[in-house]
Structure formats: structure tokens, C-alpha cells
Structure 1
């Protein structure tokens, strides 16, 4: 991919990327929201300004606010006004949570007993165009959260860049583990699928090849 546009705000980095294989432009925004609700208002305004300029859009990072009270456990509940402001922004920008797996909470203050707080501060959002173009996208919440919580020091922008670098490394490792030689694996799965289907043309009720076809088909479309 090639970066064709780059925009930096105090609480976000937005990039437009050209995917060379499909020749499509994708929009990716990385968030590091302020823990001050008044300052976060400028983040919501920035997202609203970006909305008319994007097509497929995915947004990820630490928003430093929950979407509802159920996303937080512990004392000192968050401000309802700040929650409503976040949700109003998502409504204005036509954004919603990407399907994720793992724990509902991505941050804890690591205290014990009644002082312990759990919150969902990290999330991935997409617009409808993203889901139409990439319907099988899922939120690797645990992986991103793990990378995001690696301690870093420095000013807010340096910490944001450092956290993005940590996330990138985790994604590179994930790619190496699961997507090495992806094109060869697709070709092999396609070849095996055709062989199964050819056999089933002659023996359509063969239980072994029916099961093989189902398994290979799932693998093939997952790889695609």
C-alpha cells in the first residue's frame, strides 16, 4: 500500500492508502483521545470534518470514553454528557463498532477491591461502506489492546506514534503466523476444491468428499 494523504490532529492521525492489488483507496484513522472531555470535543469535530471526504473508513484506538454505562465497572462513573457527545459524533459520522471478540473491557486501573475500574476505552469503528467492501473484517481487540498498553513515555503525539508502531509490529507478527504464502495457499485450496467437486459430479452422495468439499470451501473463502 502507498500513503496518498496524511493528516495529523492533536488526537488522531488520518491516512488514505492506495491498495495496489485492487487499486482502491482506503481511509484509516488512529485515535488517541484526551482524558479531558472538553478537549475531546475537538476530536469529535475533526471526525465530523473528515466524514464527507472518505469512502471506506476504519477508525481504531483509545477514545478515552465509553459508549454507555455498561462499558465501565467500578467507582466514579463517567460523565453522561461526555458519553452522549461521543454517541452523537458516531451518529453524525455514520460510524459503529466493528464486531470484536474477547473481553468487553480493554483498560483497567490495576487497583484492587472496590477501587478497581474496568472500562472499554479502545475500540474499532467502521462506516457502512467499509463493511460492504470488507464484510469479513473483525476486530482483533485483544491483540490491539495488548499492543496499545505497552508502556511508553513522552508527549501525547510521541506516545501515539509509539503505540501505533507497537500495534503495527503485532499485526506484522500476526500476518507472518497466518498469512505467509497466502497466494499459494489460495491456489492449493482452489485446486483441491475443484478435485472434490469433480468427484462429487460422479458420486454426489459420497460422505467423505461432501465433508471435504465443505471444509475446503470454508478455507478457500476465508483465504480469499
Structure 2
């Protein structure tokens, strides 16, 4: 269903099959009503004695005490959720850590804390699995946490790259200048064996740096089907610019079409 996915599971180390439901409820109260009806419809379909657990973001509270800050939470908003849990024989999982799972990211009087995420399960589940939750309050959802970690990792890798490889573009300009100077020396002393060797070394370093630059743009462009003779950093650079242009968000539309 739109706000929940339910699956029947089996595992070689567990004697009985079990059911799992993953919930991501609508923010609007009027749109969450179908979720409670669907969950109550799922319950009779689960064979007797089979454990069942629901977990995820319900975007709703089971008690007015599960909110701190902002306007008081209406008891009326908790009724449908609590009635659904009672009808399906679901109990709230034991948790430790923070009482709240969501924070609006603001400070002082503007801060709002709520327990929107939770795990519920049946008595059959409790008899098979010992489930407790560690709650770490935060504004970020799991994918946002992953994105934040990847962003931090990118900064660390960038520093590492600068220390190990340096600025590849600055090095390229440096090698180009060096080769130009060595070529001038060789032209002035064409019989000098040492000048020839130094020039050849400089050219080799320049070619290697050009290959590094091309590989950099190739990776940025995510082009993998090119052949050895197709190397062209300008082409890869153009691909990167086009990808970035497509990823740009020009407008955002809400559920009301605004």
C-alpha cells in the first residue's frame, strides 16, 4: 500500500515465519486515515500464532505527552492510531535513550520535539524476538544521515587527495612549463645527452599528468564505455557540466499544485 509495505518472512535460524510492516505515514492527518484502515485489514490475513511487527515513521503520536514545545498536541489526533494498535493487538516496543525521535532543528522557544518513529509488535512477536530500541533524537532521517556521512567522507578524501596527489591541475601547468623550458635548453644544446634525457623525463611526467587529468574528468562524467583512443578531457568536462545542469532543481511543487 502507499504508506506501508508488509512482507512475510522466513529465516533458517527461526522456526516460525514472521511478518514485518514498514511504515512511512502521510504528514496530513486526513491522508493517514487510510493507513489505519489498511493495517486493520492486514491483521486478519496474518496466520494465527505468526509474529508481526510494524516499524517506521508514523507521523503521529500515541499520547499528547510525546510532544514537547510548540502548540499543544490534540488528543483527538491520537485516537485513530491508538484504536488501530489496540484492534491489531499491537504494543509499543521498549526503548531507551531519548524520549523523542524528531526535532525541528530550532533552538529555545521555537524548538519542537516529537516521537514520530516507533516499533510496534504483537504478543506472538514478543515470545520469539526480544526487541528494544535505542533512540537517538535528531532532525535527520536515515537517508539524510547517510548523505551527511558521505559529505563528511568526501571532505576527508579531498584532504587526502591533496596530500597524496596534490592539485592535479596546478601540477599539469607546472609540468607544461618545465617541458617548455627543457625543450628550449635542448634546442640550444642539441648534442647534450643530459639535456635530452631531462627533456624525455619531463615529457613522460607531463603525459602521466595529462592521463591523470583525463581520468579525473572521465570519473566525474561517469563515462565508462570510451576506448583508449577516445580520451578527451574537454569532452568529459562537457558531460560533467551537462549532468550538473540536469541535476539543478528549477522549481518545486507541493501536493496542492502550488
TM-score range, shorter chain: 0.5 to 0.7
Shift, 1:103, TM fit: 0.3
- State the match for 2:18 in structure 1: 26
Deviations 1:53-84 (A, max 9, x none): 22201111000011111100011223322211
- Of 143, 148, 161, 2:141 maps to 148
Name the CA distance, whole Å, in 1 between partners of 2:116 and 2:13: 34
* Number of residue pairs matched by the alignment: 144
Alignment of 1:118 onto 2:113: yes
SS in 1 for 2:21: strand
Show CA shifts across 1:21-78 (max 9, x none). 3342110111101111111110101110111122201111000011111100011223
2: CA distance between counterparts of 1:146 and 1:51? Answer: 32
TM-score by length of 1: 0.59
- The aligned residue for residue 106 of structure 1 is 101
CA distance in 2, matches of 1:78, 1:36: 14
> Could you say what secondary structure the match of 2:6 adopts?
strand
| Contact 1:123–1:141 (CA under 8 A) maintained in structure 2 | no
Deviation at 1:140, TM superposition (A): 3.3
Regions of 4+ moved over 3 Å: 140-143, 145-150
Indicate the structure (1 or 2) with the bigger Cα radius of gyration: 2
Q: Which has the higher contact order (CA 8 A, sep 6+)?
A: 1
CA RMSD for the aligned pairs? 2.4
Instruction: Tell me the residue number matched to 1:92.
Output: 87
Q: Are residue 137 (structure 1) and residue 134 (structure 2) matched? A: no
- Structure 2 gaps, min length 5: 148-258
Alignment TM-score, normalising by the size of structure 2: 0.52
Which 5+ residue runs of structure 1 have no aligned equivalent? 1-8, 153-161, 164-224
